[in-house]
Structures are given as C-alpha cells and as structure tokens.
Amino acid sequence: MRALRMDRDESPAAPIMKLLELPFGTPRLLLTGTVGTGKTTELFRVAEEREQKELVVFLRLDKHFETTVGDRAALLSISAWEVCFLAGLAVLRAAENIGYKAPKSIETDLAAAYVAAARAAGAEDDPQVDIARLAKQMAVLVSGAVAGPIGAGLQVLASVAEAGRWSISLGRRPRLLRDSDDAARTVLQSVNTLIGLVQQYARPLLVVLDGLDLIADKLKAKELFVDSQMIANLGCRLVVCGPFALRHSQYAAAVSPQFTQVAPLVNLPVLQHDDPTLRGPGILFFRGLFQRRVRDLGDRCAALLPEALLDELAYYSGGRARSFMQMIQRTAEEGYIADSPATPAIVQRVLRERRLQQETGLHTGHLRVLQSVADDPKHSLPEDSLVDELLASHSLLPYPNESEWYYPNPLLTIHRIKPSVGSTKSH
C-alpha cells in the first residue's frame, strides 16, 4: 500500500500527526475536501504512522453503508448519534481482536441506548439489537493485537459472514435528536464508557472515521459538526473525514470547538492560477503516481503511455487522483481492445467520453456561474445558490495557492466553457 502512494506538498497528514504527537489533551481533527482528492490515502498515512503508538480503529462509513447496510444513500442523512453508535461498534470489534471482552453490561447498555434513541427519533418498528452480532458485521482496519509486538502492522477485520445480515436501520429518521435529548446523550455516554474501558485495557485509542465527505448538503454538514458536538465528544483521539461544505460555506468558522483543527485537502494544482490553460506543478505528482502504479512493468510503461499523453490525462483530471486513475484505466482498456499502445486518438476518445459525462445535467445557470469563475482573474468562489451543486458534481474544482481558488473542471473548457486565458487546444 505505501509503495503505491505519492507524497504531496499540500498533504494534511504531517500536521495532523504532529498534533496527535502532543503528550497532553485529546486531539480531535477534522479533514475536509471534495470527493476523490485523496483524503482516504492521507488518512491511511496517519493510521499507519500512529499504529505503533495507539490502538487504531479505522472505519470507512461509506463502505459500511454500501456493503453491509446495503443503503449507501442513507449515509447522506445520518445523525450524529448514529455516527457515535457505529464508532462504538467498531471499537467493540477492534477490542475483541486484541483479546478484550467487554462486560455484558456494556453490550446491554449500548443496545438499550440504541433502542431508546431509535424510538425517540421516530422509528416505526420496535427495534431489537444484538450488539455482539452487529459488531461482528463491522469491517474495520485495526492495529495489531496487544499480545503481539506493538507496531505489528495494520490489519483488516472483515465482516463475519456467520453474523448474518445487518438488521437495523440507519439514517432516514423522521425526527432529529439534538445533543440535549436524553436518548442521544445516553448513546454517547455508552460509547464513551466502552472507549474508556478499552483504553484502560490496551493503550490510547485513535478512531479514524472516513466517508462523511460524501455529504454535500450544507445543512446536514451543519447539523453534524456545528449544531452538534456529539462526534467531537467521542472520548478518544479522533480524526474525521468531513464534508467539504464545512470548508466553503459560512459554517466553517463555527465547527464544534472540540475539534482541534479543521484541515482542508483540495485538488492538486494541475492548472496555473494566472493562466489555467497552462499546466501547473501538480502534473509532476501524477507522473510519479503513474510510475508507482506501473513500476512492475519496468521500461515498458513509457511505450504504453508516452509522457505527453500522461500529462494530458493529468491536466484533464482536474487534479483529482480518482479521476486520473479512472482515465488511465479507460485508456488501458481502449489500448487493449485496439491491441495498441496509447495513442493521441485513444486519449481523445477517453477525454470525449469523460467530457460528455461531466457535461450531463448542466443547464444555462450552471454554465453562467462556471464562465463567471473562469473570467474572474482571482477565480474566487462566487456568491450563487448553484455553487453547491457545481462543487458536488465536480464541475467546479478547488485548488491550493496562498489562498484557495476555483476553476471549472478542465473537461468543461474543451467545449462548453471559454477558458479565461489562452486556449486548451494547445493541450
């Protein structure tokens, strides 16, 4: 895993790890950024660095909702108390892996707390929960067992098939429970009691929660991290991957003060701020990323994808690592079908395919906003109600500089948006 990663200049991992190194307090960090910018990779860096010093519990909420709950969309409406409950299940799962068996009263209390909260939130059914069974269905990444050497490495605890199907509902509750509601507070208290016992048995606990960045709705982001302090009050060291809406909205400064830091991760600067039609320094990152991913091919990789075409794909990825790798894969597929190394014609077919996908659903209002950002010499975030939609669909992308700046997805400048300076035809 480590051999496949590239270091990045704007990585938030280093400052996060410095804060976690503090010998006092309980650091709680919030990492924000648009989907596909590499936040999960940075969280893995943190987890791998800290596994020698803490019991690390890494929970990917997006994967849990997709594969175990079977309702990925429900994550978009999750409540703070439900996040805390899932964190508790993940800690319980990790604790069993290091040989700690929680007292039965802990499982009983956590089950009762969940039932009470679900009813208070308007659950129509009569929820019954088996905490031990639910914990076995949690897929988590954890550090090595206490019985073995500290630093033995991170390991994946997969969901146990014998535990059966996920049996409770999450998200989509008709009533919001606030921090002041007894039922919500009881869930947090039950989870923190478990956390305290595990830390007494083992060593300090670091919980990493990934996946909440999928939430694009500003009001939901505000509900989880501004109106509520429940997630931030989990009783251990904490790193949470949160919605980018917390970064670009007026709520950024109002995030729960329990979070020590709110760190952003934006797209790699594959465009130049003064002339976005020119390639920026982020191109070098993608060259290195490609080399790492195909190092087993040796010298053949240059013949399969010449550097000029690699740079073309990096530029039109918009600085999103996920988009870049998807285009590399499509280029490889087209090359395999044609029984040919990558050619300009193949790359243009891939770019056209991606461009048409990116243009889907854009109306004249979207195009107006995107053109205004392209025309603005500072490329500032405009004051417009359509901005959230454009950011969520990756039609408008954030970039680092001395201050953050924004620009339309380069794919859209091929045909729909007139570049502010120069012409993308040179690419």
Q: What is the pLDDT of residue 234?
A: 96
Label each residue of the chain as H, E or C: CHHHCCCCCCCCHHHHHHHHCCCCCCCEEEEECCCCCCHHHHHHHHHHHHCCCCEEEEEEHHHHHHHHHCCHHHHHHCCHHHHHHHHHHHHHHHHHHCCCCCCHHHHHHHHHHHHHHHHHCCCCCCCCCCHHHHHHCCCEEECCCCCCCCCCCCEEECCCHHHCCCCCCCCCCCCCCCCCCHHHHHHHHHHHHHHHHHHHHCCCEEEEEECHHHCCCHHHHHHHHCCCCCHHHCCCEEEEEECCHHHHCCCHHHCCCCCCEEEECCCCCCECCCCCCCECCHHHHHHHHHHHHCHHHCCHHHHHCCHHHHHHHHHHCCCCHHHHHHHHHHHHHHHHHHCCCCCHHHHHHHHHHHHHHHHCCCCHHHHHHHHHHHHCCCCCCCCCCCHHHHHHCCCEEEECCCCCEEEECHHHHCCCCCCCCCCHHHC
Q: What is the pLDDT of residue 146?
A: 45
Instruction: Give me 362's structure tokens.
Output: 């854009």
Distance CA 94, CA 221 (A): 28
Ordered by start, the domain boundaries in the chain are 2-264, 282-426
Phi, psi of 29 (to 5 degrees): -115, 145
Query: Is 224 within 8 Å of 212 (Cβ atoms)?
Result: yes
pTM of the model: 0.80
Distance CA 199, CA 188 (A): 16
Q: What is the pLDDT of residue 110?
A: 96
pLDDT (tens place) for every residue of the chain, 427 residues total: 554 555 666 678 888 888 888 888 899 998 887 777 788 888 888 888 898 889 999 999 999 999 999 999 999 999 999 999 999 999 999 998 888 899 999 999 999 999 999 999 988 765 678 999 999 999 898 886 444 443 446 788 887 767 678 888 899 888 999 999 999 999 999 999 999 999 999 889 999 999 998 998 888 989 999 999 999 999 999 999 988 877 766 666 678 788 887 777 778 899 999 999 999 999 998 998 888 777 666 566 556 788 999 999 999 999 998 899 999 999 999 988 988 889 999 999 999 999 999 999 999 999 999 999 999 999 998 888 899 889 889 999 988 766 789 999 999 999 999 987 654 444 4
Q: What is the pLDDT of residue 296?
A: 66
- The amino acid at residue 70 is G
